[in-house]
Structure 1
Amino acid sequence: MAENQLLNVGESTSLGKVEIAPDVLEVIAGIATAEIPGVYSMRGNFASDVAERFGKKASHGKGIKVELSEEAVFIDIYIVVDYGHSVPRLAEKIQFNVRQAIENMTAIQIKEINIHIVGVQMEHSTDEKME
């Protein structure tokens, strides 16, 4: 996650200025990624995985890393894909959906959206019967 930096959106007006925390971008990117068929799950870190097992609510920013530089915003997305989906097409759909969601909701231009495939979820047949 990014430090406590805030992104300025637009110019300051007589009413004030608008700033967006990087955590907001993580949540938007996480939701936009989860909407794509073929994404099995998002990869979190050890702490978030342990918290989830103990019943703490899952974070929508899980598996998303937002990096801010002075002139650009970079997003890294770590996912597990469902077996049988084309990885290049899936990655392209995720990049498009995340870019659209962030630009529509925040007017922030993203320099790069990098997709990292960290696993493949194999199908499990529930039709098999034990004899």
Structure 2
Amino acid sequence: MNGSIHITEGALASLIGLTAHEIPGVVGMAPANLREGIQRVLGRAQVRDGVVIGRDGDRYTADLYVVVAYGVSIPTVAQNIVERVEHIVKTQAGTELAATRVHAVGVAHA
């Protein structure tokens, strides 16, 4: 193959957000810039708003801001998100994340 492939940060954020939505216990994503207690859960169409992509040298980092279902184990859900996101990014985007951080910013009834 003579060309090159570039995956934008927006595409990576969408892939990560969609993956997080598939994890049992995740109600939705929340904007990373919540101010003064304003809470808004984002649907599938806005999943990348709950993902912040950064750089650590030549690799990407991902911060996910999620709302989890009431009654679930938040640490278990967070670990499932990290494992699944890192696997999907590696297999579908062909890259590895330097860090994947999950921020549980809310709890809601599913």
TM-score range, shorter chain: 0.7 to 0.9
Match of 2:101 in 1: 114
Q: Pick from 55, 67, 73: which aligns with 1:86?
A: 73
Q: Pick from 78, 83, 86: which aligns with 1:96?
A: 83
Offset at residue 42 of structure 1 (A):
0.4
Q: Which protein, 1 or 2, shows the higher relative CO under an 8 Å CA cutoff with sep ≥ 6?
A: 2
- Structure whose residues are more often helix by fraction: 2
Q: What SS does the aligned partner of 1:97 have?
A: helix
| Cα deviation code 1:83-125 (max 9, x no counterpart) | 11101110000001111111111110111100001111147xx
Distance 1:72 1:35 in 2: 24
User: Does 1:18 pair with 2:32?
Assistant: no
TM-score by length of 2: 0.83
Amino acid corresponding to residue 57 of structure 2 in structure 1: E
Relative distance call for 1:122 and 1:59 in structure 2 (3 A) is closer
Amino acid corresponding to residue 63 of structure 2 in structure 1: D
Match of 1:75 in 2: 62
Q: Pick from 10, 25, 29: which aligns with 2:16?
A: 29
Q: Pick from 37, 52, 66: which aligns with 2:53?
A: 66
Q: What SS does the aligned partner of 1:58 have?
A: helix
List structure 1 segments (4+ residues) > 6 angstroms apart after TM superposition.
none
Provide the aligned C-alpha RMSD in A: 2.3
Unaligned runs of 5+ in 1: 1-12, 124-131
Unaligned runs of 5+ in 2: none
| Cα deviation code 1:38-75 (max 9, x no counterpart) | 111100257xx99x8xxxx9323120000024322110
Relative distance call for 1:18 and 1:122 in structure 2 (3 A) is closer
